[in-house]
Structure 1
Amino acid sequence: MKVMTLRSPAGLDTLRIEERADPGDPTPGTIRVALHGSSLNFHDLGVVTGKMPSADGRVPLSDGAGIVEAVGEGVTEFAAGDHVVSCFFPDWQDGPPVIGDFSRTPGDGIDGFAQAHVVLPATAFTHAPKLYDSVEAATITTAGLTAWRALVADGGLKAGDTVLLLGTGGVSIWALQISKAMGAIVAITSSSDAKLNRAKALGADFTLNYRTHPDWGRRIADWTGGRGVDHVVEVGGPGTLGQSIDAVRIGGHISLIGVLTGRGGQVPTAALMAKQARLQGLIVASRRDQQAFVRALDATGIRPVIDRRFPLDRLADAFAFEMSGEHFGKIGIEW
């Protein structure tokens, strides 16, 4: 069967299609899935560019969705013909976080979903949202579920809350859609006025170009009448955290989920203490959280925003497009 692999030294030019043996029939507790879609994440980009080292010959992509072809003995949750989507942490089923690395994350510590078929434990998947195609379904595994946990599972988002989102990538646009579906009031930043206009069309209540207004944290606080926002989905890291603290209300919640501006830096501890805000790091969520997210998507009818779709054999081109920063929302891969 066809498989996309990443050869050493990692780089877009070492992504290649290879032939590997078919995984065969499912064993007890497993399911065989014909994969048809994936989506790109910043984590995947780190792997394929070598910033997050992986094994030679690794199959990339942490997101995968497709159709169950057969189930092994003892599997009752799924049946042949079901549409399923993968889990970012296949071993984290429920409860508080128990994993702090990517040693068992598909596309990083273990082979991912850039391939035609897989046979994996049934617990490595959930049902996909109804009416989604496989590319749409794959967008929930990492980006969508991260936004859900930040705002709902951890943040306790409720109608009338104010939310600040940074940028217009996959997590932020998912967070915009989730927030508006739940009755929240949303501010979003970008360096592109065109992208801000697209965010307005999706329901953003306040938009701000952070290049035009480098003091965006104070301006967001002013937009709330000086109170500050209830939630910040912080994807930038050290280069933006200080302004996110400026923007958040006293006792508010900052979800630290990204490192787009670097992996280390100073934290304005005095400002954070004065705000008495909760700064919480997080990496995606559990399978149980994903099941709750799928139920919410089925109830609300939210559909993901996918900027472009690429065939699997143009995966390098898709990553190059991601590196350009021109995308709005998610980048899909289909086959």
Structure 2
Amino acid sequence: MKAMTLHAPAGLGNLRFGERPDPGEPGPGMIRVALHGSSLNFHDLGVVTGKMPSADGRVPLADGAGIVESVGTGVSEFVAGDHVVSCFFPDWLDGPPTIADFSRTPGDGIDGFAQEYVVLPATAFTSAPRGYDAVEAATITTAGLTAWRALVVDGKLKAGDTVLLLGTGGVSIWALQIAKAMGAIVSITSSSDAKLERARTLGADFTVNYGREQAWGRQVADWTGGRGVDHVVEVGGPATLAQSIEAVRVGGHISLIGVLTGRGGEVPTAALMAKQARLQGLIVGSRREQQDFVRALEATSIRPVVDRRFPLEKLADAFAFEAGGGHFGKIGIEW
């Protein structure tokens, strides 16, 4: 079967498209899936560029979606022909977080989904949202579920709440769509006026160009009449956290989910304390939370925003496009 593998030293030039042994038929509790789509995440880019070291010969990509070809004994949740999508943490089925690393995350600690077929435990997948193609379904595994957990599971989002989103990448655009579907009022930042205009077409109520407005946290707080927003989906990290704290209301919620501006930095502890805000780190979510998210998607008209699609053999080009930062929403891989 065809597959993409990453070889040492990590880098886009060492992604190789070639043949790998077929995984065969599923054993007890397993399913065989013909994969047809994936999507790119910042985490995947970190792996393929060597910022997050992985094994030589690793199959990249944390997201995967396709069609069940056969099931092993004891599997009752799926049958051949079902459309399924992978889980970021295949061993975190339900309950509170228990995993603090990526040792069992596909495309990082274990082989990912840049290949034609996989045989894995049935619990490594959920049903895909009805009507989604494989690329659309794959966008929920990492970015979509992260946004869902940040706002709904941890943030307890309700209609009328105010939300601040940073940038227009996959997590933020998913969060925009989820928040608007649930009746929230949303502000979003970008350095591109064209991207902000596109965000407004998706329902964004207030936009800020952070390239022109350095004190964007205060501007967002002023937009709320000085109260501050109820929720911040913080994907930037150390260079943006102070502004996010400025923007949040007293007793508000900041979901710390990204390190786009670095892995470490100063936390304005006095400002955070004064706001009495909840700063909560999170990494994606459980299988149960993904199942809940799928049901929510099927009850709404939300469809993911996929900026561009690349064939699997052009995976390096897709990552180069991601690294350029020009995309809006998700980048798809299909085969």
Is the aligned partner of 1:202 residue 2:190? no
SS in 2 for 1:172: helix
1:20, distance to aligned residue in structure 2 (A): 1.1
Paired residues for 1:214-225 under 5 Å: 214-225=214-225
- The answer for the alignment partner of 2:136 in structure 1 is 136
Residues in 2 aligned to 1:264 and 1:323: alpha-carbon distance in whole angstroms? 20
1:117, distance to aligned residue in structure 2 (A): 0.2
> Per-residue CA shift, 1:179-237, capped at 9, x if unaligned?
00000000000000000000000000000000111000000000000000000000000
List runs of 5+ in structure 1 lacking aligned partners: none
1:6, distance to aligned residue in structure 2 (A): 0.2
Give the letter for the 1:106 counterpart: P
Residues in 1 aligned to 2:213 and 2:240: alpha-carbon distance in whole angstroms? 13
1:25, distance to aligned residue in structure 2 (A): 0.5
Give the letter for the 2:29 counterpart: G
Q: Percent sequence identity over matched residues?
A: 83
1:18, distance to aligned residue in structure 2 (A): 1.9
Residues in 2 aligned to 1:178 and 1:3: alpha-carbon distance in whole angstroms? 33
- The answer for the alignment partner of 2:45 in structure 1 is 45
Paired residues for 1:170-209 under 5 Å: 170-209=170-209
SS in 2 for 1:300: coil
Is the aligned partner of 1:91 residue 2:91? yes
1:294, distance to aligned residue in structure 2 (A): 0.1
Residues in 1 aligned to 2:114 and 2:84: alpha-carbon distance in whole angstroms? 15
Residues in 2 aligned to 1:303 and 1:211: alpha-carbon distance in whole angstroms? 29
- The answer for the alignment partner of 1:314 in structure 2 is 314
SS in 1 for 2:17: strand
Give the letter for the 1:56 counterpart: D
Residues in 1 aligned to 2:16 and 2:311: alpha-carbon distance in whole angstroms? 13
Residues in 2 aligned to 1:250 and 1:140: alpha-carbon distance in whole angstroms? 31
1:77, distance to aligned residue in structure 2 (A): 0.2
Residues in 2 aligned to 1:197 and 1:223: alpha-carbon distance in whole angstroms? 18
Paired residues for 1:16-95 under 5 Å: 16-95=16-95
Paired residues for 1:227-238 under 5 Å: 227-238=227-238
Give the letter for the 2:244 counterpart: S
1:79, distance to aligned residue in structure 2 (A): 0.2
- The answer for the alignment partner of 2:248 in structure 1 is 248
- The answer for the alignment partner of 1:151 in structure 2 is 151
Is the aligned partner of 1:271 residue 2:262? no
SS in 2 for 1:159: coil
List runs of 5+ in structure 2 lacking aligned partners: none
Residues in 2 aligned to 1:333 and 1:55: alpha-carbon distance in whole angstroms? 22
1:301, distance to aligned residue in structure 2 (A): 1.9
Give the letter for the 1:109 counterpart: G
Give the letter for the 2:46 counterpart: G
> Per-residue CA shift, 1:53-81, capped at 9, x if unaligned?
00000000000000000000000000000
Give the letter for the 1:131 counterpart: G
Residues in 1 aligned to 2:41 and 2:306: alpha-carbon distance in whole angstroms? 12
Residues in 2 aligned to 1:53 and 1:21: alpha-carbon distance in whole angstroms? 24
Residues in 2 aligned to 1:4 and 1:213: alpha-carbon distance in whole angstroms? 42
CA RMSD of aligned residues (A): 0.3
- The answer for the alignment partner of 1:333 in structure 2 is 333
SS in 1 for 2:299: helix
1:112, distance to aligned residue in structure 2 (A): 0.0
Give the letter for the 2:19 counterpart: E
What number of residue pairs does the alignment pair up? 335
1:247, distance to aligned residue in structure 2 (A): 0.1
Residues in 2 aligned to 1:301 and 1:193: alpha-carbon distance in whole angstroms? 26
Give the letter for the 2:258 counterpart: G
Give the letter for the 1:203 counterpart: G
* TM-score when normalising by structure 2: 1.00
Residues in 2 aligned to 1:305 and 1:21: alpha-carbon distance in whole angstroms? 34
Give the letter for the 2:149 counterpart: R
* TM-score when normalising by structure 1: 1.00
Residues in 2 aligned to 1:29 and 1:41: alpha-carbon distance in whole angstroms? 29
Give the letter for the 2:195 counterpart: K
Residues in 2 aligned to 1:224 and 1:20: alpha-carbon distance in whole angstroms? 55
